[in-house]
Amino acid sequence: MPELPVPLIVSAATLLAVMVLIFLVSSMARRQVSHPESLARVLEEKHLAMLKDLNLGLNHLGDRLSASQAELSERLRNTVSQELIQTRTALATLQLKQSEELSANRETLTQRLAQMNAELQSKHDQLRSEVLTRILQTLAEQNRAEQEMIQTTMRNATAQLAGSMELLAKTTDTRLEQISGRVSERLEEGFKKTNETFVSVMERLATIDEAQKKLDGLTTNVVSLQDLLGDKRSRGAFGEVQLENLVRNILPGIAYEFQYTFKSNGARADCVLKLPEPTGLVAVDSKFPMENYHRMFEAGVVEADRAGAQRQFRADVKKHVEDIAARYIIAGETSDGAVMFVPAEAVFAEIHAYHPEVVDFAMQRRVWIVSPTTLMAVLNTARAVMKDVATREQVHIIKDELSKLGKDFARFDQRMKKLADHIRQAHQDAEEVRVSSDKITRRFNQIERVELEQSEQVREFKTALLDLPQEDEGGPAKSIPE
């Protein structure tokens, strides 16, 4: 610090002398009580004279102090200006020198930094080993606690999940076995009946072929089919037997009924097919007019009679179609169509080949003409429809099971999400610990870069400022000269 100027020291000494004089005067004033009145007057006069002198001295001292302060301020301003100019010049020179010497001092600085780095490295390693030891101990304890918690949670979740999956698997297996058993039984039953039907049909066709051969060879010894079916009752019985065999071989017992009587009109059908809604009841009639058909193919008949028999055959078929539509198509009780069964393939072929107007008339009245072969196709189609309906009726059971399975899986997904949240929380805690470790490492790096030394210099400067002398309490602090 620079020395104080002489005028300031003189002013301080004068001020101190005035204070001592004031103290002596006050002491004399306390003693005047014990002196006589004459001495008091003398002292009072001296006191007044001293006060006047003191006032004059103080005025001169104030003037001198003002002049000295003005002179000191001017000198200080000039000095500061000169020092600023010199400082700027020195800074410019120093900057130029530093820029010139920077390349030369780089190697020296590198060597010094290497030495400092080696010294700090030993301290850093020691401090780092201690801090890392404590951190690792803390992390190990936290890791053990978290692992125990995670393992406990995992064991509980695994146990619950295993129980749920086992129960779900058992329930699903049981229900699937039940459904599969039902479907397999019905499929086996359907396949068995289909195979039996085809075997029976093939056997019957073979029997018919053999019978046809025998009839061709023994026409003179056997009654002809025309004579046998000449009677309407025999023809109707033959058609009913053939219809019954076909229906029984293809459809299950709950899907048909023979000699069914309708409630609304009391009509009796040879057979009724009970198909699923919206089809409902379908009547099948097995009676068919054959007289004029036989007349069409009798030997020795003239063409006019043959043509008349053909016209009458068409009329008979149309009348039979009309009767079936009137008796067996009942609104609200049956379906909107009925079936006319023709027991002979030759008659069916004759109608479709040479009488298309009869077929169109039957389709308009919604009566379907079938032969034994086409009836088999119709019955197989009806059986497939009933099987499909039965399968659709079981669909809701499968849907219910799938819905239950979906609920179980939703619970499984929810529990799995909870487990994932626990694992994510543990991972987040580990990341926070890693961040703390990174901060400690960066702090070590700061120590290596001697950043701590700069902080020490700042603290020393602040301590030096606080240690400067101050005036009495309440007074302004003394200015620090530049």
Location of structure tokens 């619950």: 160
| DSSP one-letter code for 280 | -
Strand 268-274 versus strand 281-285 pairing type? antiparallel
| Mean pLDDT (whole number) for 290-314 | 82
Gap between the Cα atoms of 362 and 322, Å rounded: 8
Helix axes 345-354, 372-448, angle to 10 degrees: 80
Strand order of the β-sheet with 268-274 is 256-261, 268-274, 281-285, 338-341, 367-370
Q: Is the pLDDT of residue 257 over 60?
A: yes
Say if residue 203 is in the same domain as residue 227.
Answer: no
Q: Is the pLDDT of residue 464 over 80?
A: no
Say if residue 52 is in the same domain as residue 144.
Answer: no
Is 379 inside any structural domain?
no
Is 208 inside any structural domain?
yes
The encoded tokens of residue 164 equal 């749920």
Gap between the Cα atoms of 461 and 480, Å rounded: 14
| Mean pLDDT (whole number) for 262-280 | 86
| Mean pLDDT (whole number) for 31-52 | 71
Say if residue 196 is in the same domain as residue 238.
Answer: no
The encoded tokens of residue 319 equal 């009348």
* Cβ contacts of 287 within 8 Å, gap of 6 or more: 232, 235, 236, 239, 270, 320
**Which pLDDT belongs to residue 79?**
86
- Among the residue ranges 8-17, 90-99, 391-400, the one predicted with the least confidence is 8-17
Return the amino acid letter for 458.
V
Say if residue 30 is in the same domain as residue 142.
Answer: no
| Mean pLDDT (whole number) for 342-361 | 88
Q: Is the pLDDT of residue 360 over 90?
A: yes
Q: How many CB atoms lie within 10 A of CB 182?
A: 13
Gap between the Cα atoms of 68 and 151, Å rounded: 87
Buried b (16+ CB within 10 A) or exposed e, 115-125: eeeeebeeeee
**Which pLDDT belongs to residue 481?**
40
Residue 274, classed as helix, strand or coil, is strand
DSSP-assigned letters across all residues of 63-106: HHHHHHHHHHHHHHHHHHHHHHHHHHHHHHHHHHHHHHHHHHHH
Q: Is the pLDDT of residue 17 over 70?
A: yes
Gap between the Cα atoms of 27 and 140, Å rounded: 80
Digit-coded pLDDT (tens) for 413-451: 788 888 878 888 887 887 888 788 788 777 777 776 655
Is 476 inside any structural domain?
no
Gap between the Cα atoms of 375 and 409, Å rounded: 50
| Mean pLDDT (whole number) for 346-357 | 88
Say if residue 235 is in the same domain as residue 362.
Answer: yes
**Which pLDDT belongs to residue 361?**
92
- Among the residue ranges 33-47, 104-118, 226-240, 275-289, the one predicted with the least confidence is 226-240
Is 451 inside any structural domain?
no
The encoded tokens of residue 436 equal 């703390």
**Which pLDDT belongs to residue 475?**
46
Q: Phi/psi of residue 269, each to 5°? A: -100, 150
Confidence bin at 482 (pLDDT 50/70/90): very low
| Mean pLDDT (whole number) for 101-126 | 78
Q: Is the pLDDT of residue 373 over 80?
A: yes
Q: Is the pLDDT of residue 328 over 60?
A: yes
Torsion of the alpha carbons at 152, 156, 158 and 164, rounded to the nearest 10: 180
- Among the residue ranges 57-61, 232-236, 432-436, the one predicted with the least confidence is 232-236
Say if residue 173 is in the same domain as residue 37.
Answer: no
Say if residue 257 is in the same domain as residue 362.
Answer: yes
Is 477 inside any structural domain?
no
Location of structure tokens 């490492």: 441
The pLDDT > 90 percentage for the chain reads 5
Domain carrying residue 44: 1-94
**Which pLDDT belongs to residue 363?**
92
**Which pLDDT belongs to residue 339?**
92
The pLDDT > 70 percentage for the chain reads 73
Is 36 inside any structural domain?
yes
Q: What angle do CA 233, 239, 240 make, to 5 degrees?
A: 85
Say if residue 248 is in the same domain as residue 354.
Answer: yes
Say if residue 274 is in the same domain as residue 204.
Answer: no
**Which pLDDT belongs to residue 478?**
42
Say if residue 238 is in the same domain as residue 364.
Answer: yes
* Cβ contacts of 240 within 8 Å, gap of 6 or more: 258, 270, 286
Query: 226 or 329, which is more confident?
Result: 329
- Among the residue ranges 299-308, 424-433, 473-482, the one predicted with the least confidence is 473-482
Say if residue 73 is in the same domain as residue 176.
Answer: no
Residue 317, classed as helix, strand or coil, is helix
pLDDT, the chain, mean: 76
| Mean pLDDT (whole number) for 357-364 | 91
Q: Is the pLDDT of residue 265 over 80?
A: yes
Is 107 inside any structural domain?
no
**Which pLDDT belongs to residue 474?**
43
Gap between the Cα atoms of 226 and 230, Å rounded: 6
Say if residue 140 is in the same domain as residue 252.
Answer: no
| Mean pLDDT (whole number) for 317-333 | 89
Q: Is the pLDDT of residue 235 over 60?
A: no
**Which pLDDT belongs to residue 7?**
63
Number of domains in the chain: 3
Residue 449, classed as helix, strand or coil, is coil
Is 454 inside any structural domain?
no
Digit-coded pLDDT (tens) for 141-192: 877 777 777 777 777 767 776 676 677 667 766 776 776 677 667 667 765 7
Query: 207 or 407, which is more confident?
Result: 407
Specify which residues 334 forms β-bridges with. Answer: 281
Q: Is the pLDDT of residue 472 over 50?
A: no
- Among the residue ranges 29-43, 84-98, 220-234, 240-254, the one predicted with the least confidence is 220-234
Residue 244 contacts residue 233 (beta carbons within 8 Å): no
Residue 341, classed as helix, strand or coil, is strand
Distance, first Cα to last Cα, the chain:
8
